[in-house]
Amino acid sequence: MPRNAAELPSVRLACPGERCAVETYDVVIVGGGVIGASVAWHLAVRGCTRVLVLDAAPGPGEGSTGAATGGFRCQFGSEPNVRLSLLAREKLLRFADEVGVDPGYRPCGYLFLVERQATLAALLDAQAMQHALGVAEAWPVTVEEALEINPAVAVEGLVGGVYSPTDGFIRPREILRGYSEAAARLGVRFEYGAAVRGLRVQDGRVVGVRTDAGEVGAGAVVNAAGPWAGKVAAMAGVDIPVYPLRRQVALTEPFAGLPECMPLTIFVEAEFHLRVRDGRVLLLWSDQPNTADPFDVAFDDGWLPQVTARAHRWIPSLRQATVDRAACVAGLYEMSPDRHVLLGPAPGVENLYLANGSSGHGVMHSPALGQLMAEMILDGSASSMDVHPLRPSRFAEGQPNAAPEFL
């Protein structure tokens, strides 16, 4: 396992203009979304600048990152996800100083509301774990307290909830821009419209990455391909349980009836949540779309009446709002069976590293994932937190992570 950038085998030939087919990089990152860009910057800032980022999209932010709604929370139901959020929050607070871009972190809060005592008990159990890990600011709320936090809520049928004022919002495209531009300033190369067509493996190592423009050599390869991660891993003969799941977001026309810093409010049993961004309300309902093509991101208009019915039930003022159909969007989550990221070397291919399956949490955890991945590549192991529960081999070992399905 390489211990520093100098130990990553590479031979880079000077080639003005188009890159040479024989050019070799210390690290090739497949996927130029926010996780891939974070990995690139964290490598480069430690001196590993011979890095190539390949992305199939025609430009930055045109994949899953660009469709993300921009929530950030430490209220999770498992220790690994809470620890990832705490590390990411530390990095978000110094993001502007490190890369020169405001990541948009605004602690407007996350409010979880429930209709059943059993659900509330599960949230409180998770909160006890969060407190033990340092999220002391999270607390349980009564129905009356919930109404004080978000006066727009229709509280009939609710039994309580939980709240943390330090959860809130981030700007996915700005985080992507910050990492991409800062990495490029340090010498990282980004290529868009560069779909990876194959990985060449010799003696248990990836030695080449093939695109339509030719092949480049690689000292190490990072799979940050989001929903397409399973396809990329299969190119190296590795089977990973990561699959796409479509999610949709309805946006209203500009609506002044809810404040910009209203906490992101989640009605747990209804699987409905909403937030305000730039004067519009974002409506989300966790349906399970049944599509012949799992990578299909065409917006399903049949979903709109169902999400708006939930909005009208729980936030009565939204009966006065109008959905802007042209602004509605669908995108893909990259799911894993236990809804936790697969982070670390791929089983059987020692220099193929996985950062896949964040299950809707990739943008918020991207600062942490980039740092941890750089540590694994350059130091041989991660030192910023214990990543053993996130090892890609955990499913084959029968040791998935456990957490309430709604956390």
For the chain, 407 residues long, give each residue's pLDDT as a single digit of tens.
344 544 554 333 233 344 444 699 999 999 999 999 999 999 999 999 999 999 999 999 998 999 999 999 999 999 999 999 999 999 999 999 999 999 999 999 999 999 999 999 999 999 999 999 999 999 999 999 999 999 999 999 999 999 999 999 999 999 999 999 999 999 999 999 999 999 999 999 999 999 999 999 999 999 999 999 999 999 999 999 999 999 999 999 999 999 999 999 999 999 999 999 999 999 999 876 667 788 998 899 999 999 999 999 999 999 999 999 999 999 999 999 999 999 999 999 999 999 999 999 999 999 999 999 999 999 999 999 999 999 999 999 999 999 998 89
pLDDT for residue 288: 66
20 and 9 Cβ atoms separated by less than 8 Å: no
Q: How far apart are CA 242 and CA 293, in angstroms?
A: 15
pLDDT of res. 7: 54
Looking at residue 254, what DSSP letter applies?
Answer: P
Domain parsing of the chain, residue ranges: 5-66+173-241+338-394, 108-168+244-334
**Residues with Cβ within 8 Å of residue 182, at least 6 apart in sequence:** 41, 44, 45, 98, 99, 100, 101
Give the position of tokens 């740092």.
Answer: 371
pLDDT given at position 286:
87
CB atoms within 10 A of CB 149: 17
pLDDT at position 2 is 45
The structure's pTM equals: 0.94
Predicted pLDDT at 6: 45
DSSP letters for 25-52: EEEEEE--SHHHHHHHHHHHTTT---EE
> 108-168+244-334 has which fold?
D-Amino Acid Oxidase; Chain A, domain 2 (3.30.9)
- Measure the CA–CA gap between 36 and 31, rounded to whole angstroms: 5
User: What is the CATH number assigned to the segment(s) 5-66+173-241+338-394?
Assistant: 3.50.50.60
In 3D space, the residue among 381, 344, 9 whose CA is nearest the CA of residue 207 turns out to be 9
Contact between 112 and 163 (Cβ < 8 Å): yes
pLDDT of residue 11: 32
Collapsing DSSP to helix, strand or coil, 110 comes out as: strand
